[in-house]
Structure 1
Amino acid sequence: MSMGRLGRALTLLDRAAPDVTTARKNMLLLIQLRWIAVGGQIATIAGVHLGFGVELPLAHMGLTLAGLLALNVLTLLRLQSLAPVTEAELFVALALDMFGLAVQLHLSGGATNPFAFLFLLQVTLGVVLLPAGFAVGIVVFAVLAFGVLTRFYEPLNLPSQHGHDLFALHIDGMFACFAMVAALLATFVARIARNLSQRDVRLAELRQQAAEEDHIVRMGLLASGAAHELGTPLATLDVILTDWRRMPTFADDPALAGELDDMRAEVRRCKAIVTGILLSAGEARGEAPTVTSVGAFFGDIVDDRREARAVGRIDYEDSFGDDLPIVADPALKQVLSAVIDNAVDASPRWVGVSVEREGGDLVLTVHDDGPGFTEATLAEFGKPYNSSKGKPGRGLGLFLVVNVVRKLGGAVTAGNRPGGGAVVTLTLPLAALAIGKAHGDGDDG
């Protein structure tokens, strides 16, 4: 049983509920404290028995140490499971540690043993780690244990040469106990506070994510309603333009006929966009999902942007390797198009798009030679209405990009190129795109 395997198990919980992950980390702290306690007890028993010649019930004390070691092994085995660690389990772990300490003290002088104040360490950890009800239980357990040890214990049989110096030995033991408790409290309470702080940060992130997703839901409802409203006038315009194209006045004038054809193409493009909005909103799901491949999916997006934005040059490099089958997601296509459109707006002359594979992830990079992102834009990257264009209502494109990619388990990063221009990188897990499990998708990670 290794701490490395336990660490890998905890890594799987990075996206779990913050309270769940924090409880597991706190249980790990108790395991580490128990190792320290066992090592300290062995050193103390050896020093008292060999250094001072004090007779101790070594067999019984050894059995208690073995019990603590077995408890640690069982706890490590428990943490191999991804089931959440409960507050009751933390309470039981602390209670068993206190019971083990009580047994050792019973065998070595009871409450007269200066190390009896180690109970305060367990009480402090219980108050910090556990809710009020369990914390009160820990306090009651400690008080009862200490009270019992004042009456029932095996007295220490000190050699005659130490009998006259008993009080000095007791003071030395209290000093050692005080130093140990102070050091352990400073170390472990600080680490527990760090775990709680990380939990609070994660909770704040989840609240922010929930607010953003609620914003997206409202935007989706508005977009769906607008798409419904726009469908009828766009269809009417298409019919009128088709009728005009047949009229002699327009049919006999090549210039007017060409302009009508351009108008019809743009109207039909608007209708396709409206249809895409309805598809993304889930209102036209009667058709089976479209199956495509990585090369075809991203190549079609780039070709579509080249046709729609007939300015400059959009270079495309496909370094993915094998042409993995994936499902064409209209929402993903829309947000990827938004990233390229933003790059074209900032850099009309040239935009570069590349797709590659990194382990179990697909990485799409869009870079340009425009002015790049400002520090303020990067600081608020992915937040709604964070735009460098200075127009009301803008800045939703990258907000939608970040949230759609996050829904797929990926991430979006932005920065500036050393030679000038901006770069936006989208990392998507292949498991979220591929049909079935993609081979080599990071099992070794």
Structure 2
Amino acid sequence: MPTDLPLDTPDERSFLPGLGLGEQGLRLKTLVRLRWLAVAGQTAAVMLVHWLLGFDLPVGWCLAAIALSAWLNIFLTLRWRGNLVTDRNAALLLGYDILQLALLLYLTGGLQNPFAFLFLVPVTVSATSLPIKWTLFLGALAFVCASFLAYDHLPLPWFAEAPLELPTIYIVGMWTALVSGVVFSAIYARRIAEEARQMSAALSATELVLAREQRLSALDGLAAAAAHELGTPLATIALVAKELKRELPQGGHTGEDIDLLISQAARCREILSRLANRDTPADAILAQAKLPVMLEDIVAPLRGSDVIIAVDAHAADDGKPKREGEPVFERNPAITYGLGNLIENAADFATTRVDVEARWSANDITITVRDDGPGFSQDIIDRLGDPFVTSRKGYGPGDSGDAAGRHEGMGLGFFIAKTLLERSGAQVALANRTYPDHGASVRISWPRMRIDVALRKP
């Protein structure tokens, strides 16, 4: 089968940075650019007021405060090579901006200065990008600075012959408006940013699902092609095996091996036949089966090797009265293939035994497949379920197969099984068995109302 599937989609994990809806952080470049904008604006305002309008103000101190911000930007650009800054450092830099603005306002009239509204900017920036504790810290700092400037500041630059004296009630109103604006802007900006992160997370999740569906559709087309292409070689294998059986003497291990070869070829042809005729309608009664019966049907073709496959299916002992009977499943090819693949994988890796345990309650149906093999490798357990991730021999670079005779693997079977089961509404969880037991454990669970046909009947 060709392996060059059209799987050139981004890594699934790259879709998930916002799924936890955590904070996104601030880039140093953003903070530096905002401060350069503030430096340019503050410089222009001071020069306009002092040299163009002719108002008297401590221009030296004002330019010194502005130059400090410029030097800080230069230092950060040269010294800090990273792109993202930590939340704490970002909050400290924004806190510096509040203090620097407070110093300029102190030199130029306090809350009488119309530029006092700029206290909103650092708090709003924090609300969109930093955790709430740092936003509260910056909001409190802006509140303290505004309260101080309401009562203590140098005179507002104005005409010397007619000094401007604003009434106290106006200053109180300015303070109230400023504090209200800081609180409202922070809450509003944070809410909008949170909704944007949620939309981004939803889009990422949708892209992830679409990518998995695209991969599965590609594999579906390959399966149809394989069903067509493999028919002839399988017929040839079956014919040659029957000819060998007639020519070789009866009995002995050779005859048993040939019989096994013929039976497995027949099984392959049956599987290909189901692939080619999966749209054929089936009888409604035969299309349903109770869970224990369905499991036995799946396990039956896998028995006959040295590995024991035991099925244990009964209601969960949760201390509640058992009112529901055995769950009834539709004979869904997706569920049948998914469970069959997981059980077959467990049998391949098991040493002596595979346990298939099914439990159901009023709300849930759970199937657990355990084996006594080596278990999942810690190197790939987090990536199992992705295409071409496998611990089998024979597919990795320089790998030529398992000397023990177990078949080679491409890592597609588990990906297809997991995806098909999840499409049926199941949750698939992987784990290694706890000490002193050893081996792998796969847990598949459904909400009973979604999967049990008996509960859907009127």
- Cα pair distance change 1:292/1:206, threshold 3 Å: same
Contact 2:328 2:454 in 1 (8 A): no
Q: Structure 1 residues 378 and 259, CA, compared in 2 at 3 Å: closer, same or farther?
A: closer
Instruction: Establish whether residue 425 from structure 1 lines up as the match of residue 428 from structure 2.
Output: no
C-alpha distance 370-169 of structure 1, shift in aligned 2 (>3 A): farther
Does the CA contact (< 8 Å) of 1:405 and 1:428 recur in 2? no
Matches within 5 A, 1:69-88: none
State the match for 2:428 in structure 1. 412
Question: 1:302 is matched with which residue?
Answer: 299
- Does the 8 Å CA contact 2:346/2:371 hold for their aligned counterparts? yes
Which has a greater percent of helix? 1
Structure 1 contact 343–366 (Cα < 8 Å) conserved = yes
Give deviations 1:94-151, integer Å, cap 9, x for gaps: xxxxxxxxxxxxxxxxxxxxxxx9xx99xx9xxx9xxxxxxxxxxxxxxxxxxxxxxx
Counterpart Cα distance in 1 of 2:172 and 2:454: 67
- Residues 131-210 of structure 1 mapped to structure 2, 5 A cutoff: 167-210=167-210
Task: Choose which of 368, 382, 394 in structure 1 pairs with 2:410.
Answer: 394
Distance 1:384 1:258, change over 3 A: closer
| Overall identity of the aligned pairs, in % | 26
2:195 is paired with a residue whose SS is: helix
- Deviation for aligned residue 1:344: 2.4
> What is the TM-score when the length of structure 2 is the normalising length?
0.53
Q: 1:373 to 1:286 in 2, by over 3 A?
A: same
State the Cα distance separating 1:244 from its structure 2 match.
6.2
8 Å Cα contact 2:238-2:262 kept in structure 1: yes
- 1:110: which partner in 2? none
Q: Which letter does structure 2 place at the counterpart of 1:380?
A: R
- Aligned-partner SS, 1:374: coil
Which residue is equivalent to 1:220? 220
> What is the root-mean-square deviation of aligned Cα atoms in Å?
3.4
Amino acid at match of 1:306: R
Q: Cα–Cα, structure 1 residues 418 and 258, in superposed 2: closer, same or farther, change >3 Å?
A: closer
1:195 to 1:359, Cα distance in 2 relative to 1, 3 A = farther
Q: Which residue of 1 aligns with 2:311?
A: 316
Using the alignment, how far apart are the partners of 2:244 and 2:273 within structure 1? Answer: 25
1:385 and 1:271 map into 2 onto residues whose CA distance is 25
Instruction: Determine which structure has greater relative contact order: mean sequence separation of CA pairs < 8 Å that are 6+ residues apart, divided by chain length.
Output: 2
Tell me by how many angstroms 1:297 deviates.
0.6
- 2:155 alignment counterpart: none
Alignment partner of 1:349 out of 352, 358, 366 = 352
Matched, 1:291 2:288: yes
Distance 1:380 1:359, change over 3 A: farther
- Structure 2 vs 1, CA of residues 396 and 244 (structure 1 numbering), >3 Å: closer, same or farther? closer
Equivalent residue letter for 1:335:
G
1: CA distance between counterparts of 2:255 and 2:390?
Answer: 39
Counterpart of 1:167, as a letter, is P
Deviation (angstroms), 1:356: 1.4
CA deviation vs aligned residue, 1:196-248 (integer Å, no higher than 9, x gap): 21321221222122122111111111111111222234345445655665x5x
CA gap 1:292/1:180 in 2 versus in 1, 3 angstroms: same
Any runs of at least 4 consecutive aligned residues in structure 1 with deviations exceeding 6 A, and if so which?
none
Aligned length: 275
CA contact (8 A) 2:374 2:440 kept: yes
Give, in whole Å, the separation in 2 of the partners of 1:325 and 1:193: 46
Partners of 2:361 and 2:182 in 1: how far apart? 48
CA–CA distance in structure 1, aligned partners of residues 454 and 250 of structure 2: 55
- Give CA-to-partner distance per residue, 1:395-438, whole Å, 9 cap, x none: 11221122112211222111222214322111223344333644
Rounded Cα–Cα distance in structure 2 between residues aligned with 1:410 and 1:394? 24
Q: Structure 1, unaligned stretches of length 5 or more?
A: 1-116, 129-164, 440-445
Task: Give 1:396's aligned amino acid.
Answer: L
Structure 2 residue 370 is matched with structure 1 residue 372 = no
Question: Distance between the aligned counterparts of 1:422 and 1:244, measured in 2?
Answer: 40
Deviations 1:27-86 (A, max 9, x none): xxxxxxxxxxxxxxxxxxxxxxxxxxxxxxxxxxxxxxxxxxxxxxxxxxxxxxxxxxxx
TM-score between the two structures when normalised by the length of structure 1: 0.54
